[in-house]
Structure 1
Amino acid sequence: MIPDSIRQQIQQRMNAEIEDIRSVSGGSINRAARLRLSGGRECFLKWNATAETDMFVKEEKGLNLLASADPDLRIPEVYGTGTTTEGTGFLIQEFVDEGNSQPGSPEQFGRALAALHQHREEQFGLDHDNYIGRLPQSNRRHDRWIDFFIEERIKPQLQMAADAEKLGSATVSRFASLYQQLPDIFPDEPPGLLHGDLWGGNYFYDRKGQATIYDPAVYYGHREIELAFTHLFGGFSNAFYASYKESCPLEPGFPGRKDIYNLYPLLVHTNLFGGSYARRVEAIVKRFG
C-alpha cells in the first residue's frame, strides 16, 4: 500500500519493522495510513507524490513550534519527515486515537487556544514560508497587521485566482477599495502564535477529551483571523467561544469583521476548488466597493 522506499526509510528511522498497515483519511491532498510497528507502537503516516518536497518539512516545523509553546492542547509528536528518490514526501508522527468531547472539553479547548494566542512575537509573520493545504503561504514579516494581511495573505491568493480566471476583473478591482477601509475595521492587536488552518477538520478530542490539533499553517498573526476561520465551515461549540472570550476578550464588532478575515481561506479554497468559494468571495468584497 505504501511505497517500498517509504517503508524502508520508516523502518530504519524507527528501528522497527512495520507489521500492519491500515488506510485512513489523509485529508483532501494526501494519502495516509495507520502503522503498527514491532514492539506495539502505532504511527500515523501521510505522503504525497505531487506536492512540493519541503511541504512536510514545513509542517514538522509548525507542529514543533506549536508544541514548544506548551499549550494545554495535544500536538501529535512528529517522528520525522523524508523524501524518496522519486520525489514523494512523507511525514510520520504519533498516532492519536480519536475520542469524544467530554464535560468541560470545549471550555478547555477555548482556554487553551486563548493561551496559545498569547505567545507573542514583535512582528507579524514567521522566519520561514510554509503552506496552507498544498498552496504556498508567504510569511514575510511586517510591523503592521494590515500590511501583512494585504501583502502576504490576500494579494498572493488574489493574483493566483485572477491569473486562473477564477475571479472576474470587477471583483479583483473591488479589493483596492477594501484595502483603503481596513484601518477603520481591524483593531490593533500584537502578533500572536496561530495554528493558521484551524477548522473542524483539523482538530478532534482524544480518548481523554483533550483537544488535539494538527495540519497547521503556522505564523504570528492577528488572533481574530484564527477565530474567524473556526466559524467558516459550521463553527465550533458555543462553550468553546464563551471560554475563549472569557480568557481573552475580543474588541467589539468582531462578528462584522469575520467575513473580511475569511477572505483569505476563501481565496485559498477558490484557488484549490473554485466554484462556490469564488462566489462567496465576490459577495463579501462587493460590500466594500
Structure 2
Amino acid sequence: MIPDAIRQQLRQKLGAQIDNIHSVSGGSINRAAKLTLSDGTSCFLKWNTSADPDMFVKEKRGLKLLAGADTKLRIPSTLAVGKTTDDTGYLAMEYISEGRSIDHSAEDFGRQLAALHKHQAKKYGLNHNNYIGKLPQSNQQHKEWIDFFINERMEPQLRMASDAHKLGSETIAHFKAMYKQLPDIFPEEPASLLHGDLWGGNYFYDNQGRATIFDPAVYYGHREIELAFTHLFGGFSRCFYRAYKEAYPLQSGLKHRKDIYNLYPLLVHTNLFGGSYARQVQTIVSRF
C-alpha cells in the first residue's frame, strides 16, 4: 500500500522498521495510514502522488507556527517529511487517537482559538506561500486586509475558476462590484495568526478531551474569516463560540459578513470539486 521508496526513507528517518500498516482516512486528497513501528510507537503517515510534494513541507512549517503560539491547543508533532524520486510527497506525524469532548472541552477550544488569534503581526499574509488542500495559497504580505483579501484570496481562485470555465463573466463582474463595497463591510482588525482551514474535519478531541487541530493553511489574517469558516459546514458548538467571544470579543455584525469571507473556501472547493460549490459562490456574489 505504501510505496517502497517511502518505506525505505522512513526506516532511515525514523530509525525503526514498520511492523504494521493500518489504512485510515486521509481526507479528500491524500492517502493515509497508521504505522506501528518496531520500537513500539505509532505514527500517522499521509502521502500524495498527484500534488506538489512541497505541500507537505509547507504543512510542517504551518504546524510549527501553530505549536509555537503555545495556546494549549494540541498540535501533532512532525516526525519526517520528504519526497521520492517520482515526486510522491509524504509527511509522518505523531499519531493522536481521537476521543470525545468532555465537560468544558468546547469552551476550552474557544478560548484557545482566541489565544491563537491574539498572536498578531504587522502585515496580513506570511513570509512564504503554502497550500489550502492541494491548491496553492498565495500569502504575499499587505498592510491592509482588504488588499490581501482581494489580491491573495479572491483573485487567484477566481482566475483559476474562470480559466476552467467553472464561473462565467457575469459572476466575475459581481466580484468586481463587491470589491468596491468591502471598505464599508469589513471592520478593522489586526492581522491574527490563523489555522486557515478550520472546519469540522480538521479538528477532533483527543482521549483527554483536548482540542487537536491539523491540516493547516496558516497565515496572518482577519480573525473573522476563520470564525466564518467554522460555520461553513455545520458550525461548532454554541459553547465554543460563547467562550471565544468572552475571551476575545468580536465586533457586531459577523453574521452579515460571514458569507463574504466564506467565498474563499467556496472558491477553493469550486476549483477542487465544482458542482454545487460554484452555485453557492454565484448566489452570494449575485447580491452585489
TM class, shorter-length: over 0.9
> Does 2:30 align with 1:30?
yes
Partner of 1:52: 52
CA contact (8 A) 2:14 2:80 kept: no
Shift of 1:44: 0.2
Is 1:131 aligned to 2:138, yes or no? no
Would you say the 8 A contact 2:123–2:142 is kept in 1?
yes
Asked if residue 262 in structure 1 is aligned to residue 248 in structure 2, the reply is: no
- Secondary structure of the 1:187 match is coil
1:146 Cα offset (Å) = 0.3
In the TM superposition, what is the alpha-carbon distance from 1:122 to its structure 2 partner? 0.6
What is the rounded CA distance, in whole Å, between the counterparts of 1:16 and 1:164 in structure 2?
A: 45
What's the counterpart of residue 97 of structure 2? 97
Alignment of 1:1-289 (within 5 A): 1-288=1-288
- Residue by residue, what CA displacement relative to the aligned partner does 1:159-213 show, whole Å, maximum 9, x if unpaired? 1101111011101111111001000000000000000000000000000000000
- The aligned length equals 288
Structure 2 Cα separation of the partners of residues 99 and 17 of structure 1: 28
Structure 1 vs Structure 2: percent identity of aligned residues? 67
- Provide Cα deviations, 1:32-90, integer angstroms capped at 9, x if missing partner: 00000112110000000110020100000000010011111000000120100111000
Q: TM-score, normalised by structure 1?
A: 0.99
CA contact (8 A) 2:32 2:46 kept: yes
Alpha-carbon distance, 1:31 to partner: 0.3
In the TM superposition, structure 1's runs of 4+ consecutive aligned residues that sit over 3 Å from their partners are none
Unaligned runs of 5+ in 2: none
What's the CA shift for 1:126? 0.2
Q: Give the TM-score normalised by the residue count of structure 2.
A: 0.99
* Aligned partners of 2:47 and 2:90 also within 8 Å: yes
